[in-house]
Amino acid sequence: MAATEDHSTTEAQSPAYYVTTPIYYVNDRPHLGHAYTTVAGDVLTRWHRQRGEKVWYLTGTDEHGQKIMRTAEANGVTPQEWCDKLVEEAWKPLWQHLDIANDDFIRTTQKRHTDRVQEFVQDLHDKGEIYKGGYEGPYCVGCEEYKLPGELLPGATEDEKLCPVHKRPVEWLEEENYFFRLSAYGTRLLEHYAANPDFIQPASARNEVLRFVEQDLKDLSISRSTFNWGVPLPWDEKHVLYVWVDALQNYITAAGYGSDPERFAELWPASVHLVGKDILRFHAVIWPAMLMAAGLPLPKRVVANGWLMVGGEKMSKSNLTGIAPTDLTSHFGVDAYRYYFLRAIPFGTDGSFSWEDFTARYTSELANDFGNLASRVAAMVGKYYEGSLPAATAAGDAEQAVVDGLKKAVEEADRKIGEELDFAGGIAAIFEFIKLVNGYLSEQEPWKVAKDTSPEGQARLATILYTSAEALRASAVLLNPLMPATAEKLWVSLGAEESLGALAAQTIATVADWGRLPAGATVTKGDILFPRLEEKPSA
Ligand code: MSP
């Protein structure tokens, strides 16, 4: 085997925190499921930016293969025209709309990708990792994957078999193909999983992969010769590269592999590949084996998210509820959308969306607990101090409880969101803190204290309002990765921009340092953060 010893990897430290999403097929428009993974990656990278780290967030589109070719044909355009249209009219605009701060957008039809892909496979070919052979078997164009006969479902007739994911008939393919010697990598993969227990997350995903690799791995067919929408194999141009082998390489081609060694050294190995659980094997088995064969370091983590479900089935292009991401954002707003899916579904497990649940969380958590707190505090600073934040001169145990609560929330949120990718848990920790501040305000009753005109009474009023505003200052920083537009509004309304500078420049390391917001800051009421919802649009 030509691969050398230098593949090992998780010890390798790239200086940047590099996060990727799957690159999505552009046979259709993005749906809630795609947006789910992309928002998660955005929150993760924004969190690390808020830590002051160097971060790189990559997303993009997977544009080759039979599925896209057929869609283009059905629409009477070339595959390239189809991809260009969908990318520019559907995919990029949605990510912009959802406030996704990706640093790069890779398309597999770009020359910067295809040239490098050809070099990569040529290298594997030269090393004897690729050989010519024949293959026949059931193929699902929806998955772009050969299926094992045992996993198929019965179809309408005796001869018909269905893909277990798409519930559509598979096709029987017989081809002369090139193969990658995947079977040679089983032991090394298992060694890698054992030495790096965090490589595949969550545990259920890791177990699934272990079980799969513990059986004998088969060599992988990596070329197709019955159609030509793909990257030609450099040594045999009658074949195009199997779309998955082409697509997986986006993570390195976008990072400067073979074109910009400095950038590549900075970005690779990736810190986290975010993937849906449906494409786990490609990322946790095939991709690492390809990297080993090429002598490149492996990504540090592959983290699988669960599926958004509709009526017990994976939400997909063929199984939509008819709800597009923009149907939800136009009703709830972009930030509530970013919040809802990550808050409601523990990352890694399947979850269902419902209008009722979204509405309930919007109203109780976002509008009542958080939005109201912000507007009440701003209103009282306006009413009692003409919008100039007073100093806290009479802090006691109740205030200390808020200070302590903040420390705990920061520690928990940082660990859960930044390290464990437990978004629901991290968001819950931040909202626990917001609840605590609400409780503090209700107990302290500043509206009553305001009637006490003694110096003690006035000092208490100032202290209560300062404490609440300072807690909101910290909340804005903690919520910035999740709900950037809302956090920014709050930041501005607290007068924090003038005194502390840009919200993006605040770091997680200093967010719990109590007293950062200076007395005298100009607090204004600003827009309501989460306005009352209109009636649910009728279907
Ligand atoms: N093009 C491949 C990925 C290549 S990566 C080198 C692909 N594309 S896809 O358009 O089908 O999108 C797959 C990803 O979208 C899933 O892995 C997942 O991250 C996301 N989701 C698609 N449907 C989803 C749900 N119903 N629920 C959650 N995520 C879903 O596969």
pLDDT at 38: 98
- 459-481: per-residue pLDDT in tens? 999 999 999 999 999 999 999 99
The DSSP call for residue 264 is H
Is 317 an active-site residue? yes
Structure tokens at 391: 């100093």
- Is the pLDDT at 188 greater than 70? The verdict is yes
Query: What confidence score (pLDDT) does residue 4 get?
Result: 38
- 434-466 pLDDT per residue, tens: 999 999 999 999 999 999 999 999 999 999 999
Q: Is 315 in the pocket of ligand 1 (CB under 6 A)?
A: yes
Binding residues: 140, 143, 163, 166
Residues with Cβ within 8 Å of 342's Cβ and at least 6 positions away in sequence, in order, are 39, 40, 43, 423, 424, 427, 482
pLDDT at 534: 84
For the entire predicted model, the pTM comes to 0.93
Ligand 1 atom at minimal distance to the Cα of residue 251: 6
Rounded distance from Cα 279 to ligand 1 centre (Å): 7
Catalytic residue (choose from 166, 407, 435, 525): 166
Check pLDDT > 60 for residue 262: yes
Q: Which of 7, 64, 67, 140 is catalytic?
A: 140
* pLDDT attached to residue 8: 41
Cα 409 to Cα 18, 316, 433, 475, distances in angstroms: 25, 36, 6, 10
Mutate which of 20, 37, 253, 310 for ligand 1 pocket (most atoms within 8 A of beta carbon): 37
Return the percentage of the chain with pLDDT > 70, whole number: 96
User: Do residues 64 and 230 touch, judged by C-beta distance below 8 A?
Assistant: yes
Q: Six-digit token pair at 295?
A: 């002598």
| d(C-alpha 245, C-alpha 256), whole Å | 18
- By alpha-carbon position, which residue is closest to atom 20 of ligand 1? 34
Q: Which residues fall within 8 angstroms of residue 280, CB to CB, at 6 or more apart?
A: 200, 205, 208, 209, 302, 304
Q: Could you tell me where the DSSP H helices lie in 268-390?
A: 280-281, 287-294, 325-332, 334-344, 355-361, 372-385
As a whole number, the mean pLDDT across the chain is: 94
Which tops the pLDDT comparison, 493 or 5?
493
Task: Give the 3-state secondary structure of 95-112.
Answer: HHHCCCCCCEEEECCCHH
Q: What is the pLDDT of residues 224-254, one digit of tens each?
A: 998 999 999 999 999 999 999 999 999 999 9
Phi, psi (rounded to 5 degrees) for 233: -70, 130
Would you call 34 a catalytic residue per the annotation? yes
Ligand 1 atom with the smallest distance to the CA of 307 is 27
Q: Let me know: does 503 contact 476? Beta carbons within 8 Å.
A: yes
**How high is the pLDDT of residue 280?**
97
A 10 A CB-CB count for 9 gives 20
The residue-averaged pLDDT of 363-374 equals: 98
Per the annotation, where are the binding residues for Zn(2+)? 140, 143, 163, 166
> pLDDT for 2-32, tens place per residue?
333 344 444 456 799 999 999 999 999 999 9
From the CA of 315, give the closest atom in ligand 1. 26
The confidence score (pLDDT) of residue 136 equals 85
Segment 141-168, tens digit of pLDDT:
888 888 988 889 999 998 899 999 889 9
pLDDT of 312-363, one tens digit each? 777 766 665 578 999 999 999 999 999 999 999 999 999 988 889 999 999 9
pLDDT at 320: 56
Q: Is 163 a catalytic residue?
A: yes
Q: Which of 96, 42, 102 is nearest to 417 (CA)?
A: 42
**Tally of CB atoms within 10 A around 299:** 25
Token pair listed for 64: 């080759």
Ligand 1 nearest-atom number relative to CA 310: 26
Q: Is 489 a catalytic residue?
A: no
Least confident of 26-30, 309-313, 382-386: 309-313
**What is the number of helices (H) and of strands (E) in the chain?**
23, 19
Q: What is the rounded distance in angstroms from the CA atom of residue 207 to the CA atom of residue 195?
A: 15
Mutate which of 87, 252, 278, 281 for ligand 1 pocket (most atoms within 8 A of beta carbon):
278
The pLDDT, as a whole number, for residue 6 is 42
Tell me which H or E stretch contains 408: helix 397-413
- Answer whether 86 contacts ligand 1 (Cβ < 6 A): no
- CA separation, residue 446 to residues 158, 188, 382 (Å): 75, 65, 13
Contact 233, 240 (CB under 8 A): yes
